[in-house]
Chain A
Amino acid sequence: DAGVTQSPTHLIKTRGQHVTLRCSPISGHKSVSWYQQVLGQGPQFIFQYYEKEERGRGNFPDRFSARQFPNYSSELNVNALLLGDSALYLCASSLASGGGFYEQYFGPGTRLTVT
């Protein structure tokens, strides 16, 4: 079975540009979460989506947005890129949300470099 897939693997953007990152969850998983991992730090929670609805949001500015599609895949969008947005962006999928905890399975990440 395929795991969580993310695209692209790497990309380089210029300050002020916009970027879209994509994630496909494990088949059957309905929840997708996004994390930002800056070099030398642990991942920081950005969003969680379940059944196309936002279920949680971390402490990130409004330049960050996301959505989930009917097939449960997800996009993370970042507008007006700053140098500080350079990081590894991780997507994680899980079966469900709420009423306990469902194990999250992480993808390999997208490495974003902002110059």
Chain B
Amino acid sequence: AQSVTQLGSHVSVSEGALVLLRCNYSSSVPPYLFWYVQYPNQGLQLLLKYTSAATLVKGINGFEAEFKKSETSFHLTKPSAHMSDAAEYFCAVASGGYQKVTFGIGTKLQVIP
């Protein structure tokens, strides 16, 4: 079984401040981990993915995430928030075999000018 827990359904940061969105995972096998972003009335866009290579993963739009096995965490960070980062962010986990992806409940990021 696999699951993810996103801590904080809503996060507010000031423009230019650090963005930190938290995600913890549970998986019985080495996981593949992802962060997706969803803008209003749109589908999901992949920000970054961990597939057992480097533990620090860099994604699009300046985001990065670090895989920490000892903490079963995969937190998403960005050094400086932009207004355009306001969206909903989903952490997700998948295992090998077929392509079932299990998503967290999402974190809505608000960026305050």
Contact = CB atoms under 8 A, between A and B. Distances in A.
A45 to B, nearest CB: 5
A48 B100 contact: yes
Given A43-B44, A106-B43, A108-B43, A48 B103 contact: no
Interface in A14-73: 31, 33, 35, 40-45, 48, 50, 55-56, 58
Given A43-B90, A43-B103, A44-B103, A100 B96 contact: yes
Interface string B26-43: 000000100010000111
Interface residues on A, range: 20 to 34
A87 interface: no
A78 B75 CA distance: 36
Interface of B: 32, 36, 41-46, 49, 51, 90, 92, 94, 96-106
Given A43-B103, A56-B98, 6 more contacts: A35-B101, A40-B105, A42-B104, A43-B101, A45-B102, A106-B45
